[in-house]
Amino acid sequence: MSRQTSRLDAKKVNSELLTLTYGALVSQMLKEIENPDDVNKQLERIGYNMGVRLIEDFLARTSSGRCLEMRETADKIQQAFRLYLNMQPTVTSWSNAGDEFSLVWDQCPLSEWVEMNNSSLKYCALIPGAIKGALQMVQLDVQCWFVQDQLKGDAVTELRVKYIKRLEDAVPAGED
Amino acid sequence: MADDILFELLHSEIINYALDQSKSNDDAAKKEVDLSNVEYIGFAAGYKVMERLTREWPRFKDELDTMKFICTDFWTCIYKKQIDNLRTNHQGVYVLQDNSFRFLTSFSNGQQYLEYAPRYVAYTCGLIRGGLANLSLNSVVTAEVQAMPSCKFHIHVQRT
C-alpha cells in the first residue's frame, strides 16, 4: 500500500463536516419553511434539545460544581465554548445588577464559509438555544439573544445572556 | 475545531427535525417516515467536505482506488474506524461493511430497535453519495442493517 498514514486530520474533518452539515440543514429548512423567523425558532429548538443533552457531557467532563453566581456561570459557558467549539468568546458588558452579560466572538466554526443576504435569519440561533437548554437543566432560566451579528455586517458577534429566575424543583404530585 | 459530540447530537436532531416535518406534512402515511431530507443534508455535506478533503490529494487511479479512499481515510475521520469489509463485482457495485457503525453503537444489540435503524443510516448514505458525486461518480447508495450495530452500504455506480 502506498498510503500508509492518513494525511487527513480527523478532528479537523469532523469539525468541517459539522459546519457543512449545519449549513445544509439551515438551507434545507429555508427551503421548507419559507418564513425566516420560523426557521430561527426551529434552529433554537434544535439547539435547546442539544443543550439539554450537552450539559450532561459537560458536567461529566469538567466535574464542575453548582454555580452560585452569574459570574461563575459566565465562566462555565466560556469554558463550554472552548471545549465544544474551540472558541474563545470574551465575557463583557456586565449590567450593574450583575444579572446580564455579553459573550463576544469574532470567529465561530458554525458560521465559517457563510455569507448571507439581508434577511431576518439568525444563522447561529443554535447557540442561544443550546445555552438556554443547558442552563435549564441546572435550574437556571435565562434569556439569550443576539445584539450584533458578523453575518449581518457587524464587526463582532455579540450574544446577550440575561438571568431571569432560578427554577425550583417541583414537589412530586401527591407528596407534601 | 468542534467536538465530536456536537456532530452526534446534531445528527440526531436532524433526524428529529425530519420526523417532525414528515409528520406535519402528511398524517395518513404515518408509518412511512420520509428520510429524503436527512439523505439530502448528508449529500450536501458530503459533496462539500469531499472537495476540501481531496484538495491536496493525488488523482485517484480508478474507481476502486476512490472506493478505497472512502473506506480508509474518509471513514476513519468521520466514523473513527475503517470499513471492515469491501466487496465489489467489478461492475460498479460495491458493498461496504462496517461491523460497528458509529451511529448504531449506542443502541442495544438486540432486535428491539432494528426498525429505527434506517433513520440513523440515511445521513451516511447521502454523505457517501455526495462525496462520490463530487468525484464525478453518480451512484445510488442504500444501506442494510441486519443486526445492530453492523451495517452494510451498497453503492451502485451509475454508468451511462
Q: Do A14 and B56 touch (CB under 8 A)?
A: no
pLDDT band at B27 (very low <50, low <70, confident <90, very high): low
d(CA A91, CA A93): 7
pTM to 2 decimals? 0.88
Residues pairing with A163 in the sheet: A142
Residues 6+ apart with CB under 8 A from A64: A58, A76, A79
Residues 6+ apart with CB under 8 A from A24: B40, B41, B42, B43, B44, B45
Judged by DSSP in three states, B81 sits in coil
User: What are the tens digits of pLDDT across the range B69-81?
Assistant: 889 888 988 888 8
Residues 6+ apart with CB under 8 A from A117: none
Q: Do B77 and A13 touch (CB under 8 A)?
A: yes
Q: Residue A116: pLDDT above 80? A: yes
**Contact yes or no for B128/B153 (Cβ under 8 A):** yes
Q: Looking at the partner chain, which of B41, B56, B78 has a beta carbon nearest the beta carbon of A24?
A: B41
**Residue at grid coordinates 451502485:** B156
Q: Residue A4: pLDDT above 60? A: no
Q: Do A85 and B6 touch (CB under 8 A)?
A: yes
Q: Residue B101: pLDDT above 80? A: yes
C-alpha Rg value of chain A to the nearest Å: 18
Q: What pLDDT does B155 receive?
A: 93
Segments of A65-137 assigned E as strands: 90-92, 100-105
Judged by DSSP in three states, A120 sits in coil
Q: Do B44 and A54 touch (CB under 8 A)?
A: no
Tell me which chain B residues have a C-beta less than 8 angstroms from the C-beta of A84.
Answer: 2-3, 5-6
Region A55-72 average pLDDT: 89
If you average pLDDT over every residue of chain B, what do you get? 87
Q: Residue B160: pLDDT above 90? A: no
Q: Residue B30: pLDDT above 70? A: no
**Residue at grid coordinates 440515511:** B122
Q: What ipTM, to 2 d.p.?
A: 0.88
Cell numbers linked to A146: 443576539
Q: Please choose, from the candidates A65, A60, A92, the residue with its C-alpha nearest in 3D space to the C-alpha of residue A78.
A: A92
Q: Looking at the partner chain, which of A10, A32, A85 has a beta carbon nearest the beta carbon of B76?
A: A10
Residue A164 dihedral angles phi and psi, to the nearest 5°: -105, -60
d(CA A135, CA A55): 8
Q: Do A20 and B37 touch (CB under 8 A)?
A: no
Residues 6+ apart with CB under 8 A from B34: B18, B21, B22, B25, B26
Q: What pLDDT does A51 receive?
A: 94
Q: Report whether the peptide linkage leading into residue B149 is cis, meaning its omega lies within 30 degrees of zero.
A: yes
Binding-site residues on chain B for chain A (CB distance < 8 A): 1-7, 9-11, 13-14, 16-17, 21, 37, 40-45, 48-49, 52-53, 56-57, 72-74, 76-78, 80
d(CA B54, CA A37): 37
d(CA B128, CA A45): 28
Q: What pLDDT does B26 receive?
A: 61
